[in-house]
Chains A and B, each alone.
Chain A
Amino acid sequence: MSLTLFVLRRLGRGVLTIWFAVTVTFLLLRLLPGDPALAVASTNMTEEARAALLVQYGLDQPLPVQYVLYLGELLQGNLGTSFTQSVPVLDVLLHRLPWTLLLTFTALALTVVVGVPLGALAASAKGRTWDRVVQVVGVTGQSLFVPSVGIVLLFLFGLALGWFPIGGAYDQDVYGFEWYGSVLSHLVLPALSLTLVQLGPYVLTMRAALVDALGDDYVTLARANGLSPRRILWKHALRNALLPTTTLIGLQLGFLVGGAVLTETVFAYPGIGRGIYEAVTQLDFPVLQGAFLLLAVTVVAANMLTDIAYGFLDPRVKTS
């Protein structure tokens, strides 16, 4: 199979996945108890006023009609209008999406940059002290809860040491290059907490894959040919061991976005995760549908890139 066909098939699968996510989100939201009018009702709202709100939201229409109208608008690039904010959903989301992407991709990059060498270190020192230390770190990381880690980091590095700000994505009244410094200083603690809780799977997967690879025949042959252990590890075994880790990146991205909801809440980070939480409490269907669509697109795109990268790393994938 050519690379073009391989990419096209992945694209087609991605579009189908997004349509499925859109449909499931649409239906699930309407299965939730209560209705959006009730979620914003004041103590003195009359039945008539509530009914009028449902008409205003377009929720008086039968479900299939709502679905067709929604898909029709979606195909024209219109995500709708927020029930509670009366502004286009795209405006609501585009203010927040960049911060979530910055946070999640920074955390992902940090996780890979730290996790892969740690896993390699453990595999190369299999059974020795370093291996045990790294495994303990990996298992402990998997058991951490984002908000708990976040509060500890905030207390220690924000309040006690004063090294980093407590919340937000940047400081007020900071402009030009200083603004980037401010963004960076606000990013450190939330990215660190996400990295800490995500690190475990990468370290352990990398270690297991590399231990396997180091036992393969070609490694034995390389040793017999006199190649240095370092060259065998980093040049030959690591490339094969990267395949499961690459798969993990695609799989973990969804979890990373999920973790961002909690991280953004604890660190008062203005990302889309918090927007989702707020929209859930207000049953703001258009914002939720739009947010899940954007997240689905992000995750699908990342998975496609992973698949394509996989194809480059392992040529057998393209022909299978």
Chain B
Amino acid sequence: MKLRRLSLAATAAAGALALAACAPQAPSSDGEGSGAPAEAGDDTLTIATTTDVVNYNPLIGNSRSDYWVTNLMYPHLLSIADDGSKEASLATDWGYVDETTGFYEIRDDFTWSDGEPLTADDVAWTLNAVKQDAPAGTFYGQMGHVESAEAVSPTRVEVTLTEPDTSVIEEIGFWGNIVPQHVFEPAGSVAEFANDGEDGWVSAGPYVLTDVQAGQSYTLERTEEPYPLVEGGTPVPARVVYRVYPDVNTEILAQQSGEVDVIANALPPAQVEQLRSTEGIEVAEVPGLGYAHMVYNMDQPDLAKTEVRQALAHAADYETIREVVLQGQAVSTGSSPLMPVLSQYHDDSLTEYEFDPELSRSLMEDAGYEADADGMFPVTFRLLYSLQDSVTSQWAQLVKDSAAEAGIAIELEGLERNTYLARTDEGDYDIYAGNFAIMDDPVTNFTLSYLPGGAINYTHVDDPELNDLVAQAAVTADPDEKVALMQEAAALVHEQVYDNIMYTQNLYMAYSSDWDGFVVKPSELLSIVSAQSIASAHRVSGE
């Protein structure tokens, strides 16, 4: 009996040891970040996001979480100011040598976390690799007019263009991450390299990814190398943890309970006021750089008529949409694609389409339509939108109701996102409703949105006058002349209703009042979680 007890106890002890061995073990103390200067903080900043990181290769990355996490490791040449203009980051100077040659002068004090210096060779190699391998993502999309890049000195890169383009140097500088040539080149095509950290990650940002718990968390430790873009060269938080909460309600509960310090994604409009009045939570306002819009498909014969598009534009109550659906958290752009936030370009003389059902009726009659006994015109337009976009789903109903007041029937087609994308791609809609997160460069935006062959020319417009204005602006180096051309183009878009820009949404990010020092950047992609912002954030109690 005693022997049996002993063997039972031994089995239990062995089981316990086995269980303990299966559990994660505490890391050794000589891990990343241990060499940080003593004045650096020891705090962990925990940030909530709603999506997992899909790809650790920033040249492919396609989700916001990809962008947020990889931005902490792979620097951009340029950053962005509140008005959409570009600011220095890794690059200190940039511009054009001649019409078809651009350049970047980069800092000489960036170092990869494995000790290799970040030089112009990394920049040139990144640009050439993206051009050659064509990875999916925004970066490659900016490379249309790029032929090649060359490091002409350790701190200068020159970019040869296939044709004059006065936007491309800033656009590449803002959108593209620079990756370490010595890590990415041996891996083959950058379009297929997962960069999943099999041998660890190499970073030139303030932090380096050290632990991934798929579906749960992504942990980044402060790098040992100085980060030149933060005061003193040492990021304040020792560690940054991104935690995934797919449901935004759970995410907010986690913020309220103190499990997370920051919510990276923009708050739903309905939650902003509630969180503002919650003790221990601060709400930062971030300027939006995108817009919500409705687009009228000109391949549809009725919508090819300018008067019909104008009638539709005057049949929506934009003020009510902004006040009711957006709860006052959006601003009018004057129905112009040159939003007020782009202060260099915005044109005050363009005013918002007035909600005037009678004017709409009159325009429909001018277009040759006659209302029936119920006051309805003999047309029905299908309005396509994504059901995953809760804000658009709400205002689509208001648009339908207000159009009915003008005698125009609208049939709502809210679809699952991939079906919505497929239908958009096929041009199978009358009215398209959606939004863009960042429209930072007007020339690029107009080229994609209003020129034939543009990837997001959902109007299917081909107006020679507009094409000419945008083409001229694309090669005009003089800033004032460029602005004048773009304002003229915007006036044409406004007059002809080639696009109906409804608002720019301000964005609100929640963070714990225990933290301060964030640097606010426009758009949800940067907001208060840019590399510079996170590296500058500090605990209030630690001051």
Contact = CB atoms under 8 A, between A and B. Distances in A.
Interface of A: 32-35, 37-46, 49, 52-53, 56, 84-87, 92, 95-96, 99, 147, 151, 154-155, 158-159, 162, 165-170, 172, 174-177, 179-180, 264-271, 274-275, 277-278, 281-283
Nearest to A269: B215
B419 interface: yes
B487 interface: no
Contact of A49 (B136, B213, B244, B256): B136
Interface string B37-51: 000000010000001
Contacts of B418: 32-34, 38-39, 281, 283
A268 B54 contact: no
Given A32-B418, A33-B418, A267-B250, A167 B243 contact: yes
Given A49-B140, A86-B60, A86-B194, A44 B448 contact: yes
Interface of B: 16, 19-20, 23-26, 44, 51-52, 54-55, 57, 60, 62, 134, 136-138, 140-142, 144, 191-194, 196, 213-217, 219, 241, 243-247, 249-251, 253-254, 256-257, 259, 417-419, 421-423, 425, 436, 444, 448, 455-456
Given A32-B418, A33-B423, A159-B253, A169 B141 contact: no
Nearest to B141: A44
A48 to B, nearest CB: 8
B249 to A, nearest CB: 6
B136 to A, nearest CB: 5
8 contacts: A32-B418, A85-B194, A86-B196, A96-B214, A96-B215, A172-B44, A180-B19, A277-B246
Nearest to A42: B138
A175 B23 contact: yes
B197 to A, nearest CB: 11
A270 B214 contact: yes
A15 B282 CA distance: 56
Contact of A265 (B54, B214, B246, B455): B246
Contacts of A84: 54-55, 62
A270 B216 contact: yes
Contact of A177 (B20, B243, B257, B444): B20
Contacts of B241: 172
B245 A167 contact: yes
Contacts of A154: 250, 253
A30 to B, nearest CB: 13
A85 B57 CA distance: 9
Nearest to A35: B422
A95 B51 CA distance: 16
A159 B247 contact: no
Given A159-B253, A166-B254, A274 B215 contact: yes
A86 B55 contact: yes
B137 A278 contact: no
B456 to A, nearest CB: 5
A99 to B, nearest CB: 7
B247 A268 contact: yes
B417 A281 contact: yes
A265 B249 CA distance: 11
Contact of A33 (B138, B257, B422): B422
Nearest to A92: B214
Contacts of B243: 167-168, 268
A89 to B, nearest CB: 12
Nearest to B425: A38
B254 A43 contact: no
B192 A42 contact: no
A155 B20 CA distance: 32
Most buried by A among B137, B141, B192, B418: B418
Contact of B26 (A33, A40, A87, A175): A175
Most buried by B among A52, A268, A270: A268
Nearest to A173: B26
A155 B253 contact: yes
A-B pairs, top 6 by smallest CB distance, nearest first, are A270-B215, A44-B141, A34-B422, A86-B194, A33-B422, A179-B23
Contacts of A175: 23-26
Contact of A34 (B244, B421, B448): B421
Contact of B246 (A45, A85, A159, A274): A274
A319 B129 CA distance: 67
Contacts of A176: 20, 23, 25-26
Contacts of B219: 172
A265 B20 contact: no
A162 B259 CA distance: 11
A35 B142 CA distance: 23
Contact of B141 (A45, A159, A283): A45
Contacts of A266: 247, 249-250
A115 B425 CA distance: 51
Given A34-B419, A43-B141, 18 more contacts: A33-B422, A44-B455, A56-B191, A99-B215, A151-B247, A155-B253, A159-B257, A166-B245, A167-B254, A168-B243, A172-B219, A179-B23, A268-B216, A268-B245, A268-B247, A269-B215, A277-B246, A278-B52
A266 B196 CA distance: 27
A162 B16 CA distance: 29
A33 B425 CA distance: 11
B250 A42 contact: no
A166 B26 contact: no
B134 A85 contact: no
A166 B257 contact: yes
Contacts of A85: 54-55, 194, 196
Nearest to A262: B247
Most buried by A among B51, B144, B216: B216
B455 A56 contact: no
